[in-house]
Every structure is written in structure tokens, then in C-alpha cells.
Structure 1
Amino acid sequence: MASDLNPDPRFFVLKADVWGAYDTQSEGAEPVRYGPAPRCPQCHEPIGMKEWLPPYRVTLELHGQTLGDFIEGPGNSVLISQRMAEAFRAEGLTGLLGSHAVEVARVRRKRKGSKLEAASSYRAATPCWGRGALDEARSRLRRNAPVTCPECRATGVDSIHGFALEQGTWQGEDVFRPRGEPGTIFVAERFAGFVKRHGFTNMKLTPIAEYIWDPLHQGPPTGTNWK
């Protein structure tokens, strides 16, 4: 069941909570297999990383005190704990495709005194490629090339100082990658409430208008948003 289409919904950028109490990271464990990267159906350019294929085996690195419910996985995948996967399905949320059992080959503790009791089993899923598209006029991005494809709208981005979605493009997914910035996961307000209500961990949710990524400290764009 899709979310109700609110005419002015709130959206958040979903990231792992690096340096948090549940900071957990992953890497593929041998044998690691990848398929082709997804491509835009119109311009045929890649819009994501190569697809992670079975067997789904990972090594986890625990930088926090306890394993988290959400982990950024290989390729375009994410790992979610079994309890989160069950709650997601039971509440009818949408936008996470597939639900594959993951074998944890090893856990490396990176913090003294960390514990491994919670969230010991995971499922692999892939956030969908949504129809929601960035509003280029209202988003504050430093693109390194102009948008040329009206479908994927994807180009390189040097810095981000807030996103906005083009009105009427979102189709109700609770978790999705937006057109114009497929490397970032957006979630709708219902998903944010779901996370808070259940207390799921290792997730940082930032309102899209407030999200900043500026590794070169260039500051907000002025004039055209792709220079």
C-alpha cells in the first residue's frame, strides 16, 4: 500500500549515522559478484553502481557500541535488520525492493567494549528508482555539467546546499532515489515516523531542504546551479 499523496509532503535524506552509537559499516565478502549498473531508459547512461548479486555475504565493521538496524550495503543495496524488514512489510511501506537473506561472514569490532547481541540477522534490499524529480530551480546544487536528459536528469554534483522536489512528480514511494540525484536516498514523512516509532538505529534523517554536502567547502551556488 503506497503512502497517501500529500500535496506538500516532507522528505528526508537517509544516511547511515556515522560516528553514532550504532555505527555499522559493511563490505562484500568473497565470493563477491556484481551485475551491470542500472541505466537510464532514455539516455542509456549509468545511473547507479553495479548490482550486487548473490551469494549475499558481507563482513561488518562495528564502529559503534552495538550493531545498527540499517547499513549501507554493496552496490546500490542497503541492509536492514530482520525486525526492521518485518515491520516494514507489516505496515505496508513501499520503495525497498527485494528481501534477500544476508550471511554475515565476520564482524570486526572497531570500538572497545562494543556488543553484538542486537540485530544479528539482516536482509538485503534496494531502494527503488523513483519518479520524484529534483526541482532544479529551487534545489541549491553545484553541478559540474548541465542536465541534458529529461528522464534521469543525472549529472555530476560538486556540492549540495538543499534539495527541493518538483511538485507532482513523487508517486508515493516511502523510500526512493530521486531523478536528478540517484546517488542519494530520499524517504517520505511516513518512513521517518516509522523509524522514530520503532526506534530503528544507525539512520540519520535530514530534511531535504537542510541537507548539505560540500566536501571542497565551496559554499552555496550563485547564479547558474551547475558551475
Structure 2
Amino acid sequence: MASDAPPRFFVLKNAMDSSHDTDFERSGRTIGEAGEAPRCHLCGSFIGMRAWLPPRRGELTLYGTAFGDYIKGPGSGHLLSARFVESFRTEGLTGLSDFDPVEIVRVRTRRRSAPKIPPPYFHTVPIFGGAAVEEARSRIRRHKPIDCDWCRETNVPAIHGFTLEQWRGEDVFFARGMPGSPIVSERFIRFVERHQFTNMKLIPTEEYTWDPMGLGPTRPEL
């Protein structure tokens, strides 16, 4: 019998202090030389950070004992290992495309026994709009009311759990009305577990908290 349970979603973050903790810093291009930032096609609001243009090169800092499969990249993008990209394509997951190679020009390590030669990495940016925040069932502080129903872009000073609506089946995406980190599907979770991909922290959206100023939630618990 098919389950009637609604789909669950997870916020994708770097797994800091893990055995595969890896950071990236770009080199060879200044902020002023970056590409244009994407805008909402209806209201013109910015819906992402400025694009990282070629040549794509930079430095890795390895804090753990092995390189991670997932690394936060410049702007809205991410670096993914070659084995992640190959498996993602082979298994038909969605939400990522345009995997562009990144030249690693230097590696810093914090442990003498750590490897010095990294795997190939590729840069990609998740799609925007794979789902939208279901405002009535989310606990999000906003500086102003939502005035564009498509991008739902506002300044968000605090998040204390949220749910999504209008999902179209993508496995990785930026949600409308939810700035910051990408969201992933349950299928993506199983994919990560099956291949044991590293340097990822996956937080259920209903448990996700971001409140740097300690403002607290605005609505009752979900």
C-alpha cells in the first residue's frame, strides 16, 4: 500500500568538524569581475548571488583526514567530487546541471597524515524555485510582507522550522521564500546514504533553526 505521508525535505549544510571537513576559497578573480546575479522574472528582486565566472580555480583547506564530496563554493554554488557527479547523473537525480571543472591550485592541510592530492571537483548551482515556503505552517520572521508570490523574496532575520508547498519533484533546489542553503528531497537522502557521500549535514526542514540575533519564532510549534 502506498504511503499517504507528505514528502519530507532537508536543509543541506557543510558538516563542520567532520572527518571530511573541507573548505574552498577561490583565486584569480575579484568580486568586481563576477557575473550578474539572477533576478525574479516577475518583480526583478535578486534571487541569488553573483555568478562565479571562468576561469574557476581556487584553494582547498582540509581540516579533516580526507577530502569531502561536498564543499560550499563561491556565491550560490557548490563543489562536488567527481564520484558524486557521476553517480548523480547515472541515477537520474534532478536539480543540478552544468557541472564545470574547478582547478585546485593549492591544498592546505591541518594534519601531517592528511592527503595532499584532492579528487577532481566540479562547480554547480542548484535550481531556484523547485518549491516554495508554505508560509502559514512555517515559523519565519520577515522584515516585510511577501509582495511577489513567485520569488517570495524578503529579508529573513530568523528561521525556526518551515514546510514547503508546490514541489515539482526536484531533488536539489533553492526554495522560493527561503534564502541561504539548498533544500533536498528524501530521494537525495537515500542517494547520499547509499554512496556514503561525505561533508554533508542534512537537517529536516521542520527542525531547521537559524536565528543569529536570538529573535525567537513568531508562530506556535509545527
Name the TM-score, length of structure 2 as normaliser: 0.91
Q: How many residues align?
A: 215
- Is the contact made by 1:65 and 1:113 (CA closer than 8 Å) also made in structure 2? no
Pairing 1:156-167 to 2, within 5 Å after superposition = 156-166=155-165
The aligned residue for residue 139 of structure 1 is 138
2:178 corresponds, among 167, 171, 181, to: 181
1:25 corresponds, among 23, 26, 39, to: 23
- Is the contact made by 2:130 and 2:169 (CA closer than 8 Å) also made in structure 1? no
Displacement of 1:92 in angstroms is: 0.4
Displacement of 1:119 in angstroms is: 5.0
The aligned residue for residue 172 of structure 1 is 169
The aligned residue for residue 43 of structure 2 is 43
Letter in structure 1 aligned against 2:204: P
Displacement of 1:174 in angstroms is: 0.4
The aligned residue for residue 11 of structure 1 is 9
- Is the contact made by 1:17 and 1:204 (CA closer than 8 Å) also made in structure 2? yes
Displacement of 1:222 in angstroms is: 4.3
The aligned residue for residue 199 of structure 2 is 202
Pairing 1:107-146 to 2, within 5 Å after superposition = 107-109=107-109, 111-113=110-112, 115-116=114-115, 120-146=119-145
The change in CA–CA distance for 1:190 and 1:118 in structure 2 (over 3 A counts) is farther
Letter in structure 1 aligned against 2:144: A
RMSD: 1.7
Q: Which runs of 4+ in 1 moved over 4 A?
A: none
Q: Distance in 1 between matches of 2:29 and 2:168?
A: 37
2:190 corresponds, among 185, 189, 193, to: 193
The change in CA–CA distance for 1:76 and 1:36 in structure 2 (over 3 A counts) is same
Letter in structure 2 aligned against 1:132: A
* 1:98 partnered with 2:109: no
Unaligned runs of 5+ in 1: 1-5
Displacement of 1:28 in angstroms is: 1.1
Displacement of 1:117 in angstroms is: 6.3
* 1:79 partnered with 2:79: yes
The aligned residue for residue 3 of structure 1 is none
- Taking every aligned residue pair, what percent have the same amino acid on both sides? 50
Deviations 1:132-191 (A, max 9, x none): 11001111111122111111001111111101012xx11110000000014220000000
Displacement of 1:7 in angstroms is: 7.1
Deviations 1:4-58 (A, max 9, x none): xx87211100011112221111111113541100000011011111011111101
Deviations 1:49-106 (A, max 9, x none): 1011111101111122221000010111110000000000000001012111110011
The change in CA–CA distance for 1:173 and 1:119 in structure 2 (over 3 A counts) is farther
Letter in structure 2 aligned against 1:154: E
- Is the contact made by 1:130 and 1:171 (CA closer than 8 Å) also made in structure 2? no
